[in-house]
Amino acid sequence: MKNKPHFKIELKPFWADGTVKYMDISCSVGKPEIKAGQAIVSYCRNVVSIPFCKIDGDIISFWDDQGEIPAESHYAGVLSSFMEMVEWRAKRDTAGDIRYSYRVFPRELPKDYRSSPYFDFRAEEGGANGAGITFLAVPPQQEYCISLKWDLTSMPEGSRGVWSLGTGDVSIEETPNLMQFSYYAVGRMKSVEDGDFGIYWFSEPPFDMDKASNRIRDLYNYIAEFFEDEESVYRVFVRRDPFEKSGGGTALRRSFMFGYSAKVFPTVEDLQNMLAHEIVHNWPHIDDEPAGVATWFNEGTAEYYSVVLPHRAGITSLEQVLEQIEGRAAKYYGNALRALSNMELAKIYWEDRRAQVVPYGRGFFYLANTDSEIRRVSDGKRSLDDVVLELVRRRRRGEKLTSETWLELLEKELGYSPREKYDQMTEGTLIVPDDEAFGGAFEIEDDEVIPEGASDPMPTYKWRIK
Ligand SMILES: [Zn+2]
């Protein structure tokens, strides 16, 4: 760790009324040599509709060898089409190492809030958790020797600090991007841990946490093995939502967070598919268009494998698979916006919740059909798994993957161009389920549905176990 500059992060939460009231963030960066007018740090004012924490006094203070660095915040535009950036720019050249600090408050939820991506840093009884993207201001993206340190001197005894990739104080060679897109939890947390695998929560949930932990563990082991993963680090963070429409999950690097409502009581069976979905997200991923929204491949593979892998593992029955398919059919075929193209959906993605659901179902049914097609062409010797696993292997080697990589690998399996069907899928053409989808275990009958907000019936399908 010699040639890279250091980036030290120290997090110091303060405890009051049974939870984290605010957190001081103190950082230092090794000799960045910022020129007057350049950004010393940036942060994401808004990530897919989730705001950055309130900063005390709206001030970040900076120092270097010459004392305080005068600096000003500027709106810096939208990055990757889903992050609104703010930069703090130096008003003079800097000299030597830089230190900066600020205080953030956990997010106060707006009224009538419902589950959204779990990026926000939020407090509940016992502590606070959230993703770095909503509380970390970071130096320019490059590799650093990053160290994370927790100062728990203003926290009650027994408090801990946990990060997606490590507990307590941690060092790693990485870019600040990793620190932003990973999870942090601090407080008097409960946990189940086994080496670098852990599950962390504060309030006692209304479901059987022992059973949930075992289920997460079983799912993780099977799914990680399927995706040929040999790393042991994986962490799951749990939060209690104070609102009713909860039950969501968000996956970040080698971790995910899920929420449950304090007002409705889910069972482990209710949670099961969401847990599997978030775990699958750790592996298949392409840089797909449109950026910043759910896409057919990333959500489609999470949907597809969250249904088929638990069944292959013997965790779910065929009846449960059927239920999952029916639920997805209702959301996709019964969606008035299902004929919009992927690009059109992205435009209204954050205004219309119906638009958010379509890529999930579209990807799910397209992948299920693709699986049958590969099996048919190869006389059952090959399947969708071969394509997806090859994508996962390439990603592990650091290759950049796009929909073109998908098409190229798929063409190799099929022996003909998959582009026409692919284009139809991205343009919003109805996906008619293949009779042999899901190993031909189901009979599929034509049906009709009148989607919410539409007046004419549209085709849908009834699934029955053969
Ligand atoms: Zn997902």
pLDDT of residue 309: 98
Distance 1 CA to ligand 1 centre (A): 35
pLDDT exceeds 90 at position 37: yes
pLDDT exceeds 60 at position 255: yes
Distance 13 CA to ligand 1 centre (A): 30
Position 302, amino acid: A
Distance between CA atoms of residues 21 and 125, nearest Å = 11
Distance 164 CA to ligand 1 centre (A): 18
Distance 250 CA to ligand 1 centre (A): 7
Domain-located, residue 22: yes
pLDDT of residue 172: 96
Domain-located, residue 291: no
Same structural domain, 275 and 329? no
Q: What number is the average pLDDT over the span 22-45? A: 98
Reported as a single tens digit per residue, the pLDDT across 19-28 is 999 999 999 9
Distance 132 CA to ligand 1 centre (A): 19
**Strand 6-16 with 144-150, pairing:** parallel
pLDDT exceeds 60 at position 1: no
Same structural domain, 117 and 164? yes
Distance 279 CA to ligand 1 centre (A): 9
Q: What number is the average pLDDT over the span 348-366? A: 92
Same structural domain, 215 and 176? no
Distance 160 CA to ligand 1 centre (A): 28
Domain-located, residue 18: yes
pTM of this prediction exceeds 0.85: yes
Distance 251 CA to ligand 1 centre (A): 7
Looking at the chain, the whole-number percentage of residues with pLDDT higher than 90 is: 87
Q: What number is the average pLDDT over the span 423-439? A: 96
Closest CA to 98 of 145, 60, 143, 62: 62
Distance between CA atoms of residues 142 and 165, nearest Å = 19
pLDDT of residue 2: 60
- The CA–CA distances, whole Å, from 321 to 48, 167, 269, 403, 436 equal 31, 36, 12, 28, 15
CATH code for position 450: 1.10.390
Q: What number is the average pLDDT over the span 176-183? A: 98
Distance 89 CA to ligand 1 centre (A): 36
Distance 73 CA to ligand 1 centre (A): 34
Distance 373 CA to ligand 1 centre (A): 25
Q: What is the mean pLDDT of the chain?
A: 95
Distance 300 CA to ligand 1 centre (A): 8
Q: What number is the average pLDDT over the span 361-366? A: 97
Laid out side by side, the sheet with 190-194 consists of 190-194, 197-201, 234-241, 255-261, 249-252
Domain-located, residue 290: no
Domain-located, residue 279: yes
pLDDT exceeds 90 at position 168: yes
Distance 277 CA to ligand 1 centre (A): 6
Domain-located, residue 254: yes
pLDDT exceeds 80 at position 73: yes
Closest CA to 106 of 126, 91, 81, 77: 126
Distance 295 CA to ligand 1 centre (A): 9
Same structural domain, 182 and 195? no
pLDDT of residue 244: 87
Distance of CA 292 to the CA centre of its chain: 11
Distance 458 CA to ligand 1 centre (A): 26
Note down the domain range covering 234: 189-283
Distance 360 CA to ligand 1 centre (A): 8
Count: domains in the chain: 3
Same structural domain, 390 and 442? yes
Distance 299 CA to ligand 1 centre (A): 5
